[in-house]
Structure 1
């Protein structure tokens, strides 16, 4: 019996080593789980002012914002964005609710593109809510805009054109000769449908969790004078644990006179420089 045990020990060790190796081999050979067809990125944030193309949408006040998106592996996407806004600037409006959809993909590893449509909606708001008598014919603020962008590494170029009037601006509510207190000669002279913008955007990770971002753009209002605006932004964002991030950005514009001392559409007496330069703080969380 002792002799048999001695002769069997090497064979037993071989079988044991084979048994130990099998699980590791099986683990290496296991197929990886396929990437999900759909992902649903979302975020919630707080900003000290809601700036859109150089203009404050909240009369200089803070805004709470929510973003939800559905992305398909093919490149198709759709989303929803909402924020509080001010009726001083957008007559009768307290909220902006945007719906958008499009397709984004890559031509090469460093080159991408994005085409889509966005619909800016302001529930319950209408130019008839303007407090200025004679400048308040019924007209919706809701606006549809098509856009396209091309990106290379950390920089992108984007342009878009409105398929409707530009936020309801018309010769009734925003005319020359009285529509803008800061510049009596500024105003709308025809249909604002076909207004367009173009901008350069940059987003560069300089260190772990640190991102520098910037923007330079120009908005053209169709059939208008003195209302076009050039805008820019320079900011930094710091990522924090559990999806949180904080940001600091400086927004500025060429400050057209038409937007200086802009009289409130809610009470006709309060005034604000809609396009003034300012620093904006932000706090957000992604899910």
Structure 2
């Protein structure tokens, strides 16, 4: 009886001889087709931007100055994602803060391949930011600026509707640091009357490609401050973005708001004397690189 090795070796030699005898095209036909590379489960898109002003819901976060911003996401094919965003900010508006660092996570997917949805939570963090750093005596009890917010977004083609609710106080605003009758120089009747937890926003965003590499985009939203008077703000944006090769893009956008009096002539929380119209209309230029 032949052993396993005795049976296997001649068979292998025969197969080798057959392969050598076949024409090249026959050898290729006999070789199994290569399996296509599987799509990775994870992707990590990121971007770096330089903008002439950092506008957040109608209000400048940099006292009208430029901002350098970086963002990165970890996206899973299932729809789960998590990310990080950072930007410089101004302590004139955010006491004690010079940097904003956001952490966010959520789940996004589609319904019947037409309606998209996004459920998530974001944590806005300001290292060193605290109302105790306000230069206004009597309006500087310790209170962190850090804010958590849950949100939901629905989209269809180029339109999306987004709304969110603060799970904490709204950037630390309270009856101590932002009260009626002293918190806002532009309007002495405006201010916080209770806990700002539960503040919410809603906004409509639109985007349409009008030519190769050109996109028109807009936004209309409203921020409601819980237990406050004269502080709610309606904001909007109209912009155009041009995409270049290698991930570069440039945008020009006009930001505006109903500019509540409370945000006019806002006195600096860093020195109590400098003033700025926090919510004034303005044009912003941004240059970005996607990776």
Aligned-residue offset at 1:22: 6.5
Structure 2 residues not aligned, in runs of 5+: 1-20
Cα displacement (A) at 1:31: 3.0
Among 42, 46, 49, the alignment partner of 2:50 is 46
Structure 2 Cα separation of the partners of residues 22 and 166 of structure 1: 70
- Deviation digits for residues 153-186 of structure 1, max 9, x if unmatched? 1110000000000000000000001110000000
Q: State the shift of 1:109 in Å.
A: 2.1
Whether 2:245 is the aligned partner of 1:245: answer: no
Q: What SS does the corresponding residue of 1:199 show, helix, strand or coil?
A: strand
Residue 32 of structure 1: how far off its partner (Å):
1.9
Match of 2:138 in 1: 134
Aligned to 1:214: 218
Q: Which runs of 4+ in 1 moved over 6 A?
A: 24-27
Instruction: Please list the CA deviations of residues 99-138 of structure 1 after superposition, one character each: whole Å capped at 9, or x if unmatched.
Output: 0000000112221100000000000110000000100000
SS at match of 1:177: coil
Deviations 1:221-270 (A, max 9, x none): 00000000000001011111111110000000000000000000000000
> How many residues end up aligned between the 2 structures?
271
RMSD: 1.6
Counterpart among 234, 241, 244 of residue 230 in structure 1: 234
Matched, 1:104 2:82: no
Q: 2-side partners of 1:218 and 1:108: how far apart?
A: 30
Where does 1:141-220 land on structure 2 (aligned, <5 Å)?
Answer: 141-220=145-224
SS state at 1:181 partner: coil
In structure 1, the residue matched to 2:73 is 69
Structure 1 unaligned residues grouped into runs of 5+: 1-14
**1:11-45 per-position Cα deviation (integer Å, ceiling 9, x unaligned):** xxxx99x7447648969x43321110000000000
Provide TM-score, normalisation by structure 1. 0.91
Match of 2:284 among 271, 280, 284: 280
* 3-state DSSP of counterpart to 1:211: strand
CA separation of 1:259/1:26 partners in 2, compared to 1, >3 Å: closer, same or farther?
A: farther
Q: 1:23 to 1:223 in 2, by over 3 A?
A: same
Determine which of 109, 119, 124 is the counterpart of 1:120. Answer: 124
Distance in 2 (CA, whole Å) between partners of 1:220 and 1:155 is 22
Q: 1:208 Cα shift?
A: 1.4
TM-score by length of 2: 0.90
Deviation at 1:207, TM superposition (A): 1.6
Relative to structure 1, the CA distance from residue 112 to residue 25 in structure 2 (aligned partners, 3 Å threshold; closer, same or farther) is farther
Q: Give the match's secondary structure for 2:132.
A: helix
What secondary structure, in the 3-state scheme, does the structure 2 residue paired with 1:45 have? Answer: strand
